[in-house]
Structure 1
Amino acid sequence: MLRDITTKTLRDQGRAFAGWGVAIVLLVAMYVAIWPSMRDQPAMSDFIDQMPEAFRNLFATSGADMSTPVGYLQIELLSFMAPILVILYAVTAGSAAVAGEESRRTLDLLVTAPVSRRRLVLEKTLAMVIGTVGLSALLGLALVVEGRFADMSLPTADVAAAMLHLALLGLVFGGVALAIGCATGSPGLSKGIPAVLAVVTYIVNGLGGMVSWLEPLQKYSPFYQYAAHDPLRTGVSWPAVVVAFVTVVVLVVVAVLGFERRDVHN
């Protein structure tokens, strides 16, 4: 049973993932059901245009047209709610990978098995990646399939591009949770620090174009790599994908090194 930690972790998280999946499908259904009434209200775009610039930047509404399916989803779902859900899932999975096992006093069973600490962390990471990518893919599938019932013509390739960027966004913060959990063994720190970091980097990205001293920091925000290139309209931004991917890899390396050098007490 311990020979494949990834499979065991995914099996243990099966019910939780099913719950997340149902929530995602129902959330998309709600936004799809609202779309017909929003489509017939062109005044909504005028209302958004009259909002303060800072508010439009924070919620990624600049230039978005609420009368189109892409603009509607960009504002209502992909600018805020979807990132929150995916980040929350990834951070929870990253924290549970090692810190959660240690908190439940089950880590000693894993570290005494004929599996290296490096492999343990890497297989736990793989489970986090599979879950996060799977959740994002489910969100994209729900958008395309459910959107057809409300005449939402969504470009499938661009939806897939947006989900790729969304999954990488979640994995960056999940990687932070994993690294902190491996280094400290604290579930609280491994959840709290990524949450604070997500809020700070979200604000930096949203206000970076308006506040001069934040502008140099904007491109370092994971949210910039997620949304600045508008993947739902323009497709995949490979430079942004590379930056996010490298960030995740670095965080996993930090997690491995932190766990290998730490004494584990249960």
Structure 2
Amino acid sequence: MLRSVFAKTLRDQRRSLAWWSVSLVLIVGMYVAIWPSVRDQPSVGDFLDQMPEAIRSLFASSGADMSTPVGYLQVELMSFLGPAVVLLYAIGAAVAAIGGEEEHHTMDLLLANPIRRSRVVLDKFAAMAVGTFLLAAVTGTALVAEGQITGMDLPVGNVAAAMLHLAMLGVVFGSLALALSGWTGWAGLSRGIPAALAVVAYAVNALAPLVDWLEPLQKLSPFYQYIGGDPLREGVDLPSVLVSVTTTAVLVALAVVGFRRRDIAA
């Protein structure tokens, strides 16, 4: 008899999480290894200033300076690639949790156990969230450990804060995928809509300072909650974290309601 959907889900993901972790360590190592050559370029500090403002805003937070370790990581890792990797994992794990089970016709076997549907959703969400936070922790640990090798002076507390914000970004979009999967059971739709909305949210947050009509929408973007407070330099932005937590709670509640109300295909 199945005793824990949470434990089973994490066990099923162990190989995937291992590969994701190794990939992140290697990605971080690549950027850390490049840092000394970037640092030694006297003109690197002017690199961003020479770009058109619209292009610069897409991959650099306000005040980013590539001549410093923090500014370099903001531009090269934290603005785009880091979030992209975490979002790919979180959305994929959330879709596999319900829509994937239904596509592979294993959900009926799972529900044959004496487990409430709400418990299935909550355990699947917990496994996705733990996996997302694990990948963020691996990234942060790699940044601090590998950064010491090349003389990167990274504040450990701020790195931890940035990883918290990064993990919450992934969990928000993973929760959206879970909610769509819970209501529809369609894996493709549950994967495609969050991915498309992530692109839109990224663009809104990046371009809002330059486009007047986007400015009122900026604070609604999960990417604003992720990087608007500049956690790699300023530490945890508690209001942004609370917004992300609230958004996640609402989406998970919707996932529970949708999954409980729907007929599950065998």
Shorter-chain TM-score category? over 0.9
Counterpart of 1:88 in structure 2 is 88
Shift of 1:220: 0.1
Distance 1:177 1:243 in 2: 18
Task: Answer whether contact 1:225 1:241 (CA < 8 A) is retained.
Answer: yes
Amino acid in the other structure paired with 2:186? S
Shift of 1:63: 1.5
Distance 2:41 2:220 in 1: 37
Distance 2:265 2:105 in 1: 9
| Secondary structure of residue in 1 paired with 2:191 | helix
Counterpart of 2:78 in structure 1 is 78
Distance 2:47 2:78 in 1: 19
Task: Answer whether contact 2:61 2:230 (CA < 8 A) is retained.
Answer: no
Counterpart of 2:34 in structure 1 is 34
Counterpart of 2:227 in structure 1 is 227
Distance 2:62 2:237 in 1: 19
Counterpart of 1:3 in structure 2 is 3
Task: Answer whether contact 1:65 1:71 (CA < 8 A) is retained.
Answer: yes
- The CA deviation string for residues 19-56 of structure 1, in whole angstroms up to 9 with x for no partner, is 00000000011001000000011312212101111111
| Secondary structure of residue in 1 paired with 2:220 | coil
Q: Which runs of 5+ in 2 are unaligned?
A: none
Distance 1:158 1:125 in 2: 27
Structure 1 runs (4+) deviating above 6 angstroms are none
Counterpart of 2:198 in structure 1 is 198
Distance 1:166 1:42 in 2: 31
Q: Which runs of 5+ in 1 are unaligned?
A: none
Amino acid in the other structure paired with 2:16? A
Query: After the TM superposition, which of the residue ranges 22-31 and 55-64 deviates more from structure 2?
Result: 55-64
Task: Answer whether contact 1:61 1:75 (CA < 8 A) is retained.
Answer: yes
Counterpart of 2:139 in structure 1 is 139
Counterpart of 2:150 in structure 1 is 150
Shift of 1:64: 1.2
Distance 1:107 1:125 in 2: 15
Distance 1:5 1:68 in 2: 45
Q: TM-score, normalised by structure 1?
A: 0.98
Shift of 1:3: 1.1
Counterpart of 2:67 in structure 1 is 67
